[in-house]
Amino acid sequence: QVQLVESGGGSVQAGGSLRLSCAASTHINCMAWFRQAPGKEREGVAAIFPGAGKAVYADSVKGRFTISRDNVKNIVYLQMNSLKPEDTAMYYCAATPRACALVEDSYETWGPGTQVTVSS
């Protein structure tokens, strides 16, 4: 079974940047990032296909976040720029052997999460 471990979370001021990493124990088709803020439902942030790097993004992060992956090391990254206080959440890495979509139920494997806090 695939195991995922996130890293790179932390606290930053609005306008700053962070890069999250997620290491997978083996190769898997689609890898994605979700986030959950206190009192809110978990939402998809970005997902990346294994091939040419095709990715999908939530509208709220387009132009600010970039997802990428290293298929040799089985690591997926989330570069987050121009961070806003509303980006504050627990960020989770997820993986599925199926096609990529920002739909929580599509993912079978989840990491424990890493906290991102953006202050104004």
Q: Are β-strands 4-7 and 109-110 bridged in parallel, bridged antiparallel, or unpaired?
A: unpaired
Pairing of strands 89-96, 30-36: antiparallel
Instruction: Give the number of other Cβ atoms within 10 Å of residue 111's Cβ.
Output: 21
Residues 109, 120: Cα–Cα separation, whole Å: 33
**14-35 pLDDT tens trace:** 999 999 999 999 988 999 999 9
CB environment 5-30: b (16+ within 10 A), e (fewer):
ebebbeebeeeeebebbbbbeeebeb
On the question of pLDDT at 94 being above 70, the answer is: yes
pLDDT at 52: 67
User: Average of pLDDT values for 2-14?
Assistant: 96
Give the pLDDT score at 51. Answer: 77
